[in-house]
Amino acid sequence: MPSPLETARFGRTVERLTVTADSPARLDDVREAILASTAEVLVLRYPAEHVTWYAGLTGLGRTALFADALVYWHLVAGRGRPPEPSPDLGTRPISGAVEVEDLVDAIFSGYANHYAANPLFTAAQATAGYREWALRSAEEGHCLALHDPGTQALLGLATLDEDGPATEILLAGVVPSAQGRGLYGHLLKGVEDRALARGATRVLISTQAHNVRVQRAWSRYGFEPVRTVLTVHLLR
């Protein structure tokens, strides 16, 4: 599938190919799709249980770069273990472009995702991708901020996909100056409450496998791991 936003951001044609957990696709099908693609960069994602696939991605006229392992966790909505409520913390929708961009830059600058594995892409371009992603969520009304009601200081951000029966957290984090104080759980509580209010049955979230710290926070809150997805960049 063509990715026009990434193509514009990186100045190279980018396509995405995703094999879901319930897809009947075989490695031969994936190889055929790769051979048919004319994109300079093809971002392939597939379930980690297909451990033999990576070796089969060679010999196709492309350089295969292992980019990351993405770990998905889920929470049954209503079964979270949130921290004690605090009068100094709350969550609210946020849509202002400047506020969203400032939060993204503070929270996610320097965070290494699959783009960092590709020498064709720069760290600045990757951060720009976070901004685009967050701004799109904010424009669609799917962005939540953690704030101090007294000072109105913005302390955290969560961007959401709320189109289906599950609420998926796309980005979530707390600003560096507020980290280490147990505030992340309050942000998760705000997301869970919002999911319950719209009738969602579960909350999904994912991160790179190396991000062990945040996975510990998810486990404490009540999330459980459900699957791992591998990302490979195939370069012409």
Q: Cα dihedral angle (62, 5, 67, 123), rounded to 10 degrees?
A: 120
State the pLDDT confidence band at 107, using cuts at 50, 70 and 90: very high
When comparing pLDDT for 81 and 164, which is higher? 81
Average pLDDT of span 37-41 = 96
Q: Are strands 202-208 and 63-76 parallel, antiparallel or unpaired?
A: antiparallel
126 has pLDDT over 90: no
CB-CB contact of 90 with 149 (8 Å): yes
Give residue for tokens 């966790």. 73
| CA gap 18, 45 in Å, rounded | 5
- What percentage of the chain has pLDDT greater than the value 90? 86
Q: What predicted TM-score, i.e. pTM, was given to this entire model?
A: 0.92
Q: What is the pLDDT of residue 111?
A: 84
Average pLDDT of span 70-92 = 96
CB-CB contact of 189 with 78 (8 Å): no
Start-to-end CA span in the chain (Å) = 16
Domain span at 194: 75-227
Count of domains for the chain: 2
- Residues 53 and 120 both lie in one domain: no
Nearest to 189, CA basis, from 197, 181, 180: 197
- Residues 30 and 99 both lie in one domain: no
Nearest to 174, CA basis, from 191, 154, 159: 154
Last residue of a domain, one of 16, 40, 69: 69
CB-CB contact of 68 with 111 (8 Å): no
- Residues 90 and 45 both lie in one domain: no
| CA gap 143, 171 in Å, rounded | 9
Give residue for tokens 């939060």. 103
Instruction: State the CATH number of the domain containing residue 216.
Output: 3.40.630.30
- On average, the pLDDT of the chain sits at 95
CA angle in degrees (0–180, nearest 5) for 196-199-200: 75
232 within domain boundaries: no
